[in-house]
Amino acid sequence: MNRAVRVEWWKLKRSPVTVTATALMVILLPTMALGFYSVAQQGGTGPLAQKAGAFLIGEGWEGYLGAVDQIAAAAMFLGTGFVVAWTFGREHTDRTFPSLFALPVSRTSIAGAKFLVLAGWITLLSLLVVAVSLGIGVAAGVGPIQTAVIGPALLRLLAISLSTSMLSLTIGLVASVGRGYLPAVGALILIVVAAQMSVLFGIGGWFPFAIPGLIAVSGSEGAPVLIPMQIALVPIATAVGLWFTVRWWRRAEAV
Amino acid sequence: MTATDLPPLVAEGLVRRFDGEPAVDEIDLEVRRGEIHAVVGLNGAGKTTLMRLLLGMLKPDAGRAIVLGFEAAVAPSQVWAEVGHLIETPFAYPELTVEENIAAAGLLHGLDRSQIPIMVGQAVEEFGLGRWSGKRARSLSLGNRQRLGIAAAMVHRPSILVLDEPANALDPAGVVFIRDLLKAYAERDAAILVSSHHFDELARIADRITVLHRGCHVGNLDPSGVDLEKRFFDLVYGADLAIRDGSR
């Protein structure tokens, strides 16, 4: 497994897809949230100001980091999902999949190694998003620095970033079965739409991919209260996706 | 014959169908130590499918693919550490440099981490990739990607080699280089299975030539005989006539 982890790490860190996705998520998420926050703070009666106002939950740090939470719940699923789709799908698109057969390192180990390095990257990325969000908030002076307010809000952002990104690992199954990254990108978009629909129909709490978004709006007016069983669906869905992906890799043929 | 008496690479009555059509139909084949065994055939003859079956990339519908005495589907990692292969696309990840690609192949082929720098250095030099060693594979020409693919397949000094059209995209110097390399490997007791379309090339390197046509083994060619191309087409057209007459 160590050998496969090393090779997969080289591939991931050298990939332009990973570098671009990391930069976009780390910079754009807090910047966009700050944009919404600033527009809402300025007030006004324009449609943008009204939308930004409706988007924010609370004032100061709570409002700004709440905006990061909501953007992260969807954008990080898509952003990390693109990288997951590429990591598994590229072996088919670049036709390197047959090279991963007839080796002393099993394909189970290779698929496991892909998940391990992706999980490591997701953890680093989530920490970076939290750190940069804090930095941008301080630089923009969104409010007085109170550990009692900022601490729990940052922890919540970390939990949302990690859970939505870890859920995107399940996309590896679509990229594997679909033998390419395009089917996986299609699935990513479908899942985001399905998550929105599930929330609209009031069943979002039972759809794992909607849960990070619901955590992001928890505490706001009309938001459903999640029970522990619903939150547990996030790691359960992730684990099921990983298991099926590794199983596919163990049984797959290089057709 | 016991497992230890078997040649390193054996196909026993291998059958594989795609959508009901046989791509490989009851093929028997052996690759012995110290031998270069070539499979030749027109496009779609079943050469690559046969190689994929022997490497466990495909599961046979019938028959057995045996590598060092083990069925390919259940061969342990020690068996695969003895095998090097290049099937269709070279092991060349575009974002990795030439050296990183060879190191990655070495790790996946079972080399110890401590051996990697030495083996990579040797492979880069042996395969004439020194000028490009720090360059990303995406910037390589097709021929150099093929060289890189063969270097990646051989970095761990395998005793069994399965190469699908190894001379693909190589310039004349590259073709001569691969020819000499394979001969040297065979002299060191390696078992080598190659596919090719180039009869001139086959005549120079192969010890045995198996002719495949429409998934079937339709005959053998003597590499030392004259006019390989004519004898190949005689076999292929003969097989076509037999199919038309219903005798095959």
What pLDDT, in 10s, does the model give residues A169-210? Answer: 999 999 999 999 999 999 999 999 999 999 999 999 999 999
- What chain A residue is nearest to B52 in terms of C-alpha separation? A254
Residue A125 structure tokens: 């990325």
pLDDT band at B227 (very low <50, low <70, confident <90, very high): confident
Chain B residues close to A98, C-beta within 8 Å: 52, 57, 87-89
Number of other residues whose CB lies within 10 A of the CB of residue A206: 12
Residue B127 structure tokens: 């395969």
What pLDDT sits at residue A38?
86
| Phi–psi pair at A210, nearest 5 degrees | -90, -15
Say if the Cβ atoms of A104 and B77 lie within 8 Å.
Answer: yes
pLDDT at B12 over 90: yes
* Residue B109 near chain A (CB below 8 Å): yes
Coil/strand/helix, residue B40: strand
Measured between alpha carbons, how far is A241 from A248 in angstroms, rounded to an integer?
Answer: 11
* Residue A152 near chain B (CB below 8 Å): no
What pLDDT sits at residue B244?
78
Strands B70-71 and B216-221: unpaired
Task: Compute the mean pLDDT over every residue in chain A, rounded to the nearest whole number.
Answer: 93
Q: What one-character DSSP code corresponds to residue A99? A: G
| Phi–psi pair at A178, nearest 5 degrees | -80, -5
- The residue among A95, A217, A111 whose CA lies nearest residue A156 is A217
* Residue A255 near chain B (CB below 8 Å): yes
pLDDT band at B204 (very low <50, low <70, confident <90, very high): confident
* Residue A20 near chain B (CB below 8 Å): no
Look at A143-152, A233-242, B7-16, B57-66 and tell me which has the smallest mean pLDDT: A143-152
Q: What is the per-residue pLDDT across B110-168, written as a single tens digit (0 to 9) for each?
A: 999 999 999 999 999 999 999 999 999 999 999 999 999 999 999 999 999 999 999 88
Q: Which whole number is the average pLDDT over A68-77?
A: 95
Interface list for B 50-69 with A (CB within 8 A):
52, 55-59
* Residues 6 or more apart in contact with residue A201 via CB below 8 angstroms: none
pLDDT at A57 over 80: no
pLDDT at A1 over 70: no
User: E strand or H helix at B180, and its extent?
Assistant: helix B172-187
Partner-chain residue, chosen from A10, A104, A106, that has the shortest CB–CB distance to B109: A104
- What chain B residue is nearest to A1 in terms of C-alpha separation? B108
Burial class (CB in 10 A: 0-12, 13-18, 19+), B125: exposed
Partner-chain residue, chosen from B92, B95, B108, that has the shortest CB–CB distance to A16: B95
ipTM exceeds 0.90, yes or no: yes
- Separation in Å, CA of A125 to nearest CA in chain B: 21
CA B244 to chain centre: 32
- The residue among A193, A234, A201, A237 whose CA lies nearest residue A215 is A234
- pTM here? 0.93
Measured between alpha carbons, how far is A64 from B163 in angstroms, rounded to an integer?
Answer: 59
List the alpha helices (DSSP H) in chain A: 2-14, 16-42, 47-55, 60-93, 107-140, 147-167, 171-177, 181-200, 211-217, 228-251
What pLDDT sits at residue A205?
92
Chain A residues close to B138, C-beta within 8 Å: none
pLDDT at A239 over 80: yes
- Which CB contacts under 8 angstroms, 24+ apart, belong to A138-142? A140/A34, A140/A38, A140/A64, A142/A34, A142/A37, A142/A60, A142/A61, A142/A63, A142/A64
* Residue B108 near chain A (CB below 8 Å): yes
Say if the Cβ atoms of A96 and B94 lie within 8 Å.
Answer: no
Coil/strand/helix, residue B133: coil
Partner-chain residue, chosen from A3, A96, A102, that has the shortest CB–CB distance to B83: A102
pLDDT at B3 over 70: no
Measured in Å, how far apart are chain B's first and last C-alpha atoms?
30
What pLDDT sits at residue A64?
92
- Separation in Å, CA of B58 to nearest CA in chain A: 5
Chain B residues close to A105, C-beta within 8 Å: 77, 107-108, 110
Partner-chain residue, chosen from B58, B77, B80, that has the shortest CB–CB distance to A253: B58
Angle subtended at Cα A28 by Cα A22 and Cα A30, rounded to the nearest 5 degrees: 110
* Residue B116 near chain A (CB below 8 Å): no
- Separation in Å, CA of B153 to nearest CA in chain A: 9
* Residue A1 near chain B (CB below 8 Å): no
Measured between alpha carbons, how far is A110 from A133 in angstroms, rounded to an integer?
Answer: 34
* Residue A250 near chain B (CB below 8 Å): no
Look at B3-12, B152-161, B206-215 and tell me which has the smallest mean pLDDT: B3-12
Cβ(A56)–Cβ(A66) below 8 Å: yes
Interface test with A, best of B108, B114, B168 (most A CBs within 10 A): B108
What pLDDT sits at residue A41?
79
Partner-chain residue, chosen from A96, A105, A106, that has the shortest CB–CB distance to B91: A96
- The residue among A83, A66, A70, A60 whose CA lies nearest residue A13 is A83
- Separation in Å, CA of B92 to nearest CA in chain A: 8
Measured between alpha carbons, how far is B83 from B164 in angstroms, rounded to an integer?
Answer: 14
Chain B residues close to A3, C-beta within 8 Å: 107-108, 110
- What chain B residue is nearest to A9 in terms of C-alpha separation? B104
* Residue B78 near chain A (CB below 8 Å): yes
